[in-house]
Structures are given as structure tokens and as C-alpha cells.
């Protein structure tokens, strides 16, 4: 094994939550890349047999761009056995932080959204009341309606395909999630007998079919958990 007095830029630690690769945050990015290459080559045998190992990469106080994350990931996964589970950094861009904050904000509206009215929020939207035919509600995040959705609801309007539209009673004229659109033919949402779903449902994009589907609301907790895991 090559010995050096130099401080190591890349250290690998086993923790009770699995393997963590720490990247020094004072050196140049190039030094990390070259040391990673060397380390992986050197320790290759250690990973040789055995099953896939998933690791987390901790970048300390360094901000890694998407491209840099991709590069680091590619280098590590080049071993064929290590899979990068997630990146973690103590820092993020202001834009991202703002986005995150807005994403987590919930706006509550306690009124009926009536014909001709448009309600648009940056985070999630909770409506305590109906969305009437001709009314439009839009959220960057999710839309939750404690009432009947008879008008138009759009979730994930900035492209978030994991957003949902939930309502106690579904008689939508349109549901849109990211770029996917669901249209109903029936337009007489005022009539009680034309309800699409009289029990609480949430609409989300089914990724296999690439279309919007409706599920019983009690599945939403699990959906949100999966979504959160996917996200971080």
C-alpha cells in the first residue's frame, strides 16, 4: 500500500447506517476526483466479491453541482458493486433553499373557489371548501381539497410529477399533474348523481402507464413516504 503524509481528501467510514464516503471540503474539486479514482482502483479487491454495497456520499461544506454529483457517482459506481444511495451536503444554493421553503409551505384557503376564480400557490394548497365548476386551483406542490372538486385542479405546475390532487369528493372537469392531463366528459358537476368518486381520493401519475390514476385517500400516507424517500 502506498503511504503518504498528505491529508486524505477522501475517507471511507463504516457507520451503523452503512458506509459513508466523506469528501474533504477544503481541497480543490479536482483533488477529490483524482484521489477517488486512485482509492477505488486501490481498494477494488475489497469490493470484489460479495453483493452490492450502497454508500452515502457526504460532501461536508462543499456545494456539488448536479454535474459534479454525477461525476462522483459515476466514479464510485465504476466499481460495479458500489451504488451511491444519496448525496449529502451541509450547503445548498439560495435558489434551492428558497425552492425548498416554498415547496414546504402550505397555504390554507377557507372558502369556496367559485366559477371564474383562480387560486395559485407556490407550495401545497389546502382548500376547506369546494372548487366549483369553472374555478381553478393550482399549486407547485400538492392540492388537497376538503370538499368537492368540481372545477380544475393542477398540482406540480412546475413539473413535479410526484405531486398529487386529493379531494373528499371527485367530480373534476380537469385534473393536471405536471404535464399530464385528466379530462372528464361529464360536465354537469352540479348534479349529485354525476359524481366520479363520492369517497375521498387522491390523483397521481402512475409511472408505468404515464397517466393520472385515482386511489383511495388512505393510500396517500404511503405514497408520500415513498415520495419523500425518493427525494432525499
Rule CB under 8 A: which residues touch other proteins? 111-112, 114-117, 129-130, 132-135, 150, 168-169, 187-192, 195, 198-200
Q: Which is nearer to other proteins, 132 or 160 (CB)?
A: 132
Question: Smaller CB distance to other proteins: residue 72 or 121?
Answer: 121
Q: CA-based diameter of the chain, in Å?
A: 79
Q: Give least dist CB 165 to other proteins, A.
A: 17
Query: Least distance to other proteins from the beta carbon of 14, Å?
Result: 50
Show Cβ contacts of residue 101 under 8 Å, excluding neighbours closer than 6 positions: none
Closest CA to 185 of 194, 197, 173, 195: 173
* Residue with smaller CB distance to other proteins, 183 or 198: 198
Nearer to other proteins, 156 or 172 (CB): 172
**Min CB(189)–other proteins separation in Å:** 8
Closer to other proteins by CB, 123 or 147: give it: 147
CB burial string 185-202: b at 16+ within 10 A, e below:
eeeebeeeeeebbeebbb
What is the smallest separation between the CB atom of 164 and other proteins, expressed in angstroms? 18
Residue 147: how many CB atoms within 10 A of its CB? 16
Say if residues 186 and 170 touch (Cβ distance below 8 Å).
no
Nearest approach, Cβ of 133 to other proteins (angstroms)? 6
CA atoms of 211 and 178, how far apart (whole Å) = 11
What DSSP string runs through 20-57? Answer: EEEE-SSS-HHHHHHHHHHHHHHTHHHHHSSS-EEEEE
Amino acid at each position: 500500500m502506498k503511504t503518504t503524509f498528505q491529508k486524505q481528501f477522501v475517507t471511507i467510514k463504516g457507520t451503523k447506517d452503512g458506509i459513508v464516503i466523506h469528501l474533504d471540503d477544503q481541497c480543490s474539486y479536482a483533488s477529490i476526483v483524482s484521489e477517488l479514482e486512485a482509492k477505488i482502483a486501490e481498494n477494488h479487491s475489497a469490493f470484489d466479491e460479495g453483493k452490492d454495497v450502497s454508500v452515502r456520499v457526504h460532501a461536508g461544506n462543499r456545494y456539488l453541482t448536479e454535474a459534479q454529483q454525477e461525476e462522483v457517482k459515476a466514479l464510485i459506481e465504476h466499481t460495479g458493486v458500489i451504488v451511491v444511495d444519496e448525496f449529502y451536503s451541509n450547503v445548498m444554493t439560495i435558489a434551492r433553499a428558497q425552492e425548498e421553503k416554498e415547496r414546504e409551505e402550505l397555504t390554507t384557503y377557507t372558502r369556496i373557489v367559485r366559477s371564474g376564480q383562480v387560486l395559485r400557490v407556490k407550495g401545497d394548497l389546502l382548500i376547506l371548501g369546494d372548487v366549483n365548476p369553472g374555478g381553478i386551483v393550482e399549486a407547485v406542490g400538492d392540492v388537497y381539497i376538503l370538499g368537492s372538486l368540481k372545477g380544475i385542479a393542477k398540482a406540480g405546475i412546475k413539473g413535479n410529477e410526484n405531486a398529487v390532487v386529493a379531494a373528499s369528493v371527485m367530480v373534476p372537469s380537469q385534473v393536471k399533474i405536471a404535464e399530464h392531463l385528466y379530462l372528464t366528459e361529464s360536465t354537469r358537476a352540479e348534479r349529485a348523481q354525476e359524481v366520479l368518486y363520492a369517497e375521498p381520493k387522491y390523483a397521481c401519475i402512475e409511472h408505468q402507464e404515464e397517466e393520472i390514476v385515482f386511489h383511495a385517500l388512505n393510500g396517500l400516507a404511503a405514497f408520500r413516504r415513498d415520495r419523500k424517500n425518493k427525494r432525499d
